[in-house]
Amino acid sequence: MKLLLLLLPLACAAQVTPAAIGNSPNADWLTYNGDYASTRHSSLHQITPDNAKDLVAKWVYRLDGAKRLQVSPIVHDGLMYISNTNEMVALDARNGRQIWHYRAKGAEGARVNRGLAILGDKVYFATADCHLIALNRRTGSLIFDVPYASFANGYTTSIAPLAIKNGILVGVAGGGSGQRGFVASLHPDTGKETWRFWTVPGKGEPGSDTWGNFPAEMGGAPTWTTGSYDPALNIVYWPTGNPWPDFYGGRRPGDNLYSDCVLALDADTGKLKWHFQFTPHDVWDWDANESLVLLDSTYRGKPRKLLVQANRNGFYYILDRVTGEFLHAQPFVSKLDWTTGLDDKGRPKVIPEKIPNPAGTKVCPSVRGASNWMSPAYNPATGLFYVVTLEQCDIIVASAKEPVPASGFRGTGNEGIPTEPGKFYLRALDVLTGKKKWEYPMPGPGVMWAGTVSTAGGVIFSGDDDGNLVALDAKTGKDLWHFSMGRSLFASPVTYMIDGQQYVSIAAESDIFTFGLFSPAGAN
Amino acid sequence: MRRLWLLALVIGLAHAQTSIEAGRELYMGACSGCHGATGEGSQGPSLLSGRAGRLSHQAISTIIRKGVTGSSMPDFPLLPTASVANIAAFVRSLTSPAISAQLPGDPESGRTLFFGDGKCSTCHMLLGQGGHPGPDLSNIGAERSVHQLRESLRKPSARIEHGYRSATAVLPDGSTLRGVARNYNNYSVQILDATGRLHLLERRYLKSLEIADSSMMPPVANPEDLLAFLAKQSTRPPTQQ
């Protein structure tokens, strides 16, 4: 039987449907954060707390020239897809053998790439100069290469697109360089834009009065991470980043909508249904681009559709994702000193002394944030939300200098405090309260950006700050296994299954490392 | 006849004041012994590499005139200036993308041939149109020089890109699978068949596997129209960049 499976031609398998993406991750891993709800929780259960000690390396694939892979691989039909700046590769997911390699010749920009999307018979990725590229998933043949923003005007991107029923959703960077953010939906067959939502309103549009006279074209509020999607509500949830200039708000009086928000957009039209702003008038560079995790649960006695996020500003938020109503927030780091707390609408009361000034202001969390784009995971069986957190403060210096877009100007900047180095922890939070259940310290140089994956086997995988892939008991945080990659980690792991073998993969600088349970020679 | 279109090619190329064809003749006499007849390199370095492609006309002329100290590249102090310029023009043309060349063939006839009687599209794709086993050609005009394209059309087996060798596997049930080996080693082989099916196979299960050193593609005797058509294939034409 196994033999037959091995020889099954891949073309027999069905096209990748939105329903399949919604049911992922199982044997396949079909979207950046595993599923539309961004839980990164896999139904695979071959690896358990009892046998995780038997994990061994299965294969390593080196992508020549890659320096800092940040991709979460996509796995489907026996193939693994990975992306790097302006290039994409398909591998035999059992052994890491390359099937095809596509380089977007002529593509400009050098920004990192976080991943790709799959739908139908195509795989999609965005180049650093904001072209969406669609390739035949079996051959790597080019289907289209379509620009969706102007590199000449300063736009770049690192995004892993999100494939939904009728669109490939993309975003842009620009919070640190003064571009106007947007989310766009491009047609899966042609790349033609079907809708676009500008994250900084144009003159006279709702929300434009939250900027003073600051030009919308420089507003930032970038869309550089992958959003979530609720097919039943037909709503796309997209997080936005900081207003520009990052650290000086004097020229942009007001809340600066829709920076540092979650946007609930109609999936067919891109029309805004509601928004919630985590950090109004941000002057600390606290993008809200962290994962938006969707879950349905009984909350305060009644069934609710929830959206949760561990925000860069140090609070774990719970919102009603139908209405956008703020339900609850809880600090998930101890180093948090910029606010006296949130009001009943979730609006923070800012301590005036924590607004950066030219002399320098100590603020906690740091600019990197209490968490960041490293993906969290949520396991419905444990009710725990697993998130990599950073305990750190920064000195932030602000300047009223005239802002010039795409010049490197950010309203001045931040520096670490040498006597108070940042410390990473993987924390398990009660998903309905945000309270810490356990934590796993991750000693190291304080440079990692690795995220997590959860499995039905009861094992959590995460990168740590010392370059290890670690396996922890999902209930207790007990250390079960680790493997040193010998380099710092800047990506989140994924898990998948082929021919009865569960694999765990993580990108590490130039390589993809893949692990599975030991099996006798010849069995794999 | 062949001389006529070569002449037209030469006249049509951008650097009309220097003669690529004259440069080619000089090159075949003085340079090809070390750099290969098509610039592929042998004792001397390849002139088709990315590094060679980044050298300016002036830089190449200087190397020809002065040689490279510490290497076996000699100097040519007495070569007339025009001859140096012609050789440099030829060397530059080896690596210029085909899309930048003016070609004598008729691209529309080439298109008809590609999707029609030539049956090229049975195996090759252009922006999603065509067949699977051969290399995608959507951007080929920006990736290959005229020399490389012409060689690929005339002598498909002279230089086979990794991942496109013909493969024949006999499966455990005795049936035969044919396609191209996108990759292979002692343990596994990944075969793409003519219908676009990908077969990920472990070699220990196969009765036999043959990987050919030749291409599945038949040679094209008179490739000029096809060449003109393929040279135009670019996903990001120079005007857009």
Same domain for B233 and B120: yes
Burial (Cβ within 10 Å: 0-12, 13-18, ≥19) of residue A279: buried
Which of B183, B195, B196 faces A99 most closely, judged by CB atoms? B183
Same domain for B121 and B46: no
Same domain for B176 and B57: no
Rounded Cα–Cα distance for residues B183 and A92 (Å): 10
Find chain B residues with C-beta within 8 A of A10's C-beta. 197-200
Chains A, B: CB pairs < 8 Å: 95
B37 bridge partner residues: none
Rounded Cα–Cα distance for residues B150 and B148 (Å): 5
Predicted TM-score (pTM) of this structure: 0.88
Which position among A129, A285, A394, A465 bears the catalytic label?
A285
Q: Angle at the Cα of B183 (from B181 to B185), degrees rounded to 5? A: 110
Q: What is the CATH number of the domain that holds B175?
A: 2.30.30.100
Which of B128, B188, B192 faces A92 most closely, judged by CB atoms? B188
Active site residue A285: yes
pLDDT of A54 strictly over 50: yes
Determine, yes or no, domain membership for B65.
yes
User: In the structure, what pLDDT confidence band is assigned to residue A10 with cuts at 50, 70 and 90?
Assistant: very low
Range of the domain at B228: 107-159+222-240
Which of A9, A105, A140 faces B143 most closely, judged by CB atoms? A105
Same domain for B153 and B232: yes
- The two structure tokens encoding residue A486: 């010998």
Higher-pLDDT residue of B83, A3:
B83
Q: What is the mean pLDDT of residues A62-72?
A: 95
Same domain for B121 and B36: no
Report the pLDDT value the prediction gives residue A313, as an integer from 0 to 100: 98
Determine, yes or no, domain membership for B216.
no
Report the pLDDT value the prediction gives residue B17, as an integer from 0 to 100: 61
Same domain for B186 and B150: no
Q: What is the mean pLDDT of residues A170-189?
A: 94
Determine, yes or no, domain membership for B71.
yes
Q: What is the CATH number of the domain that holds B40?
A: 1.10.760.10
- The two structure tokens encoding residue B18: 């220097």
Same domain for B176 and B123: no
Determine, yes or no, domain membership for B149.
yes
Same domain for B131 and B205: no
Residues of B with CB under 8 A from a CB of A: 125, 127-128, 132, 136, 138-139, 142-143, 163, 171-172, 182-183, 185, 187-188, 190, 192-193, 195-202, 204-205, 235-236, 241
Q: pLDDT under 50 in chain B at which residues?
A: 1-2, 4-16, 240-241
Find chain B residues with C-beta within 8 A of A108's C-beta. 241
Find chain A residues with C-beta within 8 A of B183's C-beta. 92, 97-99
Determine, yes or no, domain membership for B44.
yes
Same domain for B33 and B11: yes
Q: What is the mean pLDDT of residues A317-334?
A: 98
CB of A105 less than 8 A from some CB of B: yes
Find chain B residues with C-beta within 8 A of A9's C-beta. 193, 197-199
Number of compact structural domains in chain B: 3
Rounded Cα–Cα distance for residues B65 and B49 (Å): 21
CB of A190 less than 8 A from some CB of B: no
Q: What percent of chain A has pLDDT over 70?
A: 96
Contacts of B224 (CB under 8 A, 6+ apart): B5, B103, B104, B105
Determine, yes or no, domain membership for B87.
yes
Determine, yes or no, domain membership for B142.
yes
3-state class of B144 per DSSP?
Answer: coil
pLDDT of A23 strictly over 80: yes
- Picking from A216-225, A370-379, B68-77, which range would have the lowest pLDDT averaged per residue? B68-77
User: ipTM surpassing 0.95, yes or no?
Assistant: no
3-state helix, strand, coil in chain A (%, to 5): 5, 40, 55
Determine, yes or no, domain membership for B102.
no
Same domain for B130 and B227: yes
Are the beta carbons of B235 and A106 separated by less than 8 Å? yes
Same domain for B88 and B14: yes
Higher-pLDDT residue of A323, B148:
A323
Same domain for B207 and B133: no
Report the pLDDT value the prediction gives residue A154, as an integer from 0 to 100: 92
> Chain A window 112-151: which residues touch B at a Cβ cutoff of 8 Å?
136, 138-145
- Cβ contact A356:A247 at 8 Å: yes
- The two structure tokens encoding residue A356: 């950066």
Find chain B residues with C-beta within 8 A of A100's C-beta. 163, 182
Report the pLDDT value the prediction gives residue A11, as an integer from 0 to 100: 42
Higher-pLDDT residue of B146, A521:
B146
